[in-house]
Amino acid sequence: MKQVAILHQGLEGGNPSLIKHSCYLRDSLVEAVRDLGYNPQSVYLDDSFTWVSSLEQIRNLLVVVNAADYGPFFDSTLESVVPAILDKKGIRYTGSDMGAIDFTNDKLRTNYALSKAGVLVPKCFSIGDTNSFESLDFPLIIKYRSVHGSEGIDDSSVVMNERELKEKVDRLKQTRDSPIIAEQYIQGSGIYEVCGGFLGNGDDRLALPVACVKFNSESSRIRTQDHKWSDEDPIEFVDLPESLEKEIHRYVSDAANAIGMRDYARIDFRIGVDGRAYAIDTNANPDLNEDATLYKMASKTGLSYPTFVGKIIDSALRR
């Protein structure tokens, strides 16, 4: 029987919520792979990197499902290390390669690339010495440049003036030694952010139904770190103007081509007061859990969870 490895995180190194989440993902993928008729092999992304030799020792290994979406040591800035090692060892795996993951983990670089590809994005720039800024177009939202999961984003992330900007930057620097960016804050025309995504590659790429993410409240219209990890399900599917949905699908396809994302990906948008979709976050290796946004979008097309996983595996095998 063909072996399919599930490379997963959990067990150590992350906060309790992340560990619980990663273990649930592992169990769901193991069950789905078994339902597909393969023999699942669970391999833990340990901090000693013995996972590499564990994968090499699996006989008749067909493919690795890369479910390590936070990278070694639960450090998202190291996420691309996993596909880099798999490529070096000649091990086939699902999802984007090192180049695409590295690219999308750099929010400033991604913003520029998407703009060049014709995708509508907010203005974005790197923050060095905040004292050097004399004229800024507020409001802005302040983020780490190279981490994901909304780390560092809270209600104070949207700043209205230079004083608030300096205060937020100082707090982020105290928490993590990482570059910081400022992005034009798209104030939005409603109570939702929207997510687009795809499965497959090339002519077989399937544009997924657009999901809407409801904000915490009328007064807090950003997806904070607490919001992303809350037990409350923020995902809804509402009727959007046909032209807007087509625009989002086109932007997702253009982004995939420009960056080289493959098999699956998710892009988050905010809808401006002008009714246009602005790409604010690109994830080349999104969460594959049953309760994650990507599968919820796929499920609207009628896909069961095992079929969803099977499509991802098939895409990797056809490359």
pLDDT band at 130 (very low <50, low <70, confident <90, very high): very low
Q: Are residues 44 and 159 in the same domain?
A: no
pLDDT of residue 21: 86
Q: CA nearest 29: which of 69, 80, 1?
A: 69
225 and 149 Cβ atoms separated by less than 8 Å: yes
Q: Round to whole Å and give the CA distance between 271 and 187.
A: 8
Q: Are residues 205 and 61 in the same domain?
A: no
Instruction: Measure Cα distances from 168 to 10, 125, 128, 135, 297 in Å.
Output: 31, 16, 13, 18, 34
Give per-residue pLDDT as tens, 77-111. Answer: 889 999 999 999 999 999 999 999 999 999 999 99
Burial of 31 (0-12, 13-18, 19+ CB in 10 A): middle
Q: Are residues 307 and 285 in the same domain?
A: yes
Q: Are residues 36 and 139 in the same domain?
A: no
Q: Are residues 202 and 227 in the same domain?
A: yes
- Enter the pTM of the model: 0.92
Percent of the chain exceeding pLDDT 70 equals 90
pLDDT band at 230 (very low <50, low <70, confident <90, very high): low
CATH of the domain at 61: 3.40.50
Q: Are residues 237 and 312 in the same domain?
A: yes
Here the tokens at position 217 are 């409240």
Structural domain tally of the chain?
A: 3
Pairing of strands 158-159, 140-144: antiparallel
pLDDT of residue 137: 85
Strand (E) positions, the chain? 3-8, 39-44, 61-66, 124-127, 140-144, 158-159, 180-184, 192-199, 206-207, 211-214, 235-236, 264-271, 277-283
Q: For the chain, how many residues are written?
A: 319
Residue burial 79-118, b: 16+ Cβ < 10 Å; e: rest = bbbbbebbeeeebebbbbbbbbbbbbbbbbbbbebbbebe
Q: Are residues 214 and 311 in the same domain?
A: yes
pLDDT of residue 319: 92
pLDDT of residue 67: 96
Give per-residue pLDDT as tens, 180-213. Answer: 999 999 987 666 789 999 999 999 999 999 999 8
pLDDT band at 284 (very low <50, low <70, confident <90, very high): very high
Q: CA nearest 110: which of 247, 256, 4?
A: 256
- Mean pLDDT in the chain? 90
Q: Write down which residue in 184, 203, 228 finishes a domain.
A: 184
CATH of the domain at 108: 3.30.470.20
Neighbour count for residue 244 (Cβ, 10 Å): 16
Give per-residue pLDDT as tens, 28-73. Answer: 999 999 999 999 999 999 989 999 999 999 999 999 999 998 888 8
193 and 282 Cβ atoms separated by less than 8 Å: no
Q: Are residues 230 and 295 in the same domain?
A: yes
Q: Are residues 175 and 256 in the same domain?
A: no
279 and 269 Cβ atoms separated by less than 8 Å: yes
Q: Which domain holds residue 299?
A: 102-120+187-318
